[in-house]
Amino acid sequence: MSAHANTGTVLDRILEARRASVEHRKKVLPETALKYGAKAATPLRDFAAALSRDGLNIIAELKPASPSRGVLRDPFDAPALARSLESTGAAALSILTEEEFFRGSLRNLREARKSIALPVLRKDFIFDPWQVWETRANDADSFLLIVATLGDATLRDLIALGRELGMEPLVEVHTRAELDRALTADARILGVNNRDLKTLSVRAGTSFELVDQIPDHCIAVSESGLRSHEDLLRLRDAGFDAFLIGEHLMLAPDPAAALANLLGPAPQGQAL
């Protein structure tokens, strides 16, 4: 199922825990029940269109904690954060749903999405079709696929299932080889993560090195380590359509003000 080899990294521990959690939840909630829930889910919002507007399209990420930084926000009020980031100009939201390492939850996703009109990405470690059905049943509009954790056949199948359900996934890569695999699998929204998932170190140069290899028909998203309006302008000039930003916002005393600073002045029309 996975192209990932266990080498004792943080990513290995997360995936091991996630697989155990999914196997348990599949016994409690069979896929047939999730398929019924998916049919009853709220109408989809267009995630791809939100990332294709003119200007600086920021996917603002809500996460209570991370393996690299520990607790980021406590208390954590997902609906209030979602409303404030939407009103400031976020293009979409990303909601962490992994419980053990990120302290996320599907409840946060449902409650945040209910409080806003933006499309919402489910950020998790997804490797099983059951999780894709679970994603739609919980009202998400898109979901993350990490190429480093998936075999080629599984990657293709999960992308295809997402499209069958109306969800175009964000397919995340870290290297040229992973980008080639994502393109072979017909990924259309490509995220370049500047964070090395094995060491958790961040290197912004990764985005600049890979963006020229992303075809024009794809949506290019730069992820991690973005902290200033100037960072986003440079990346937009290099060819990126959108930017996923989490820790910078979650660590700020006022996440909405931090988002406004990232967006900068007109034409976005945001206050500094």
Give yes or no for a contact between 232 and 226, defined as CB atoms under 8 angstroms apart: yes
Looking up tokens 């980008």 gives 179
| Other beta carbons within 10 Å of 256 | 21
Active-site residues, by number, are 61, 63, 123, 172, 193, 223-224
Looking up tokens 């409303």 gives 83
- The two tokens of residue 50 are 């939100």
Distances (CA, A) of 249 to 144, 157, 225, 232, 253: 20, 33, 11, 14, 9
Residues 93, 58: Cα–Cα separation, whole Å: 8
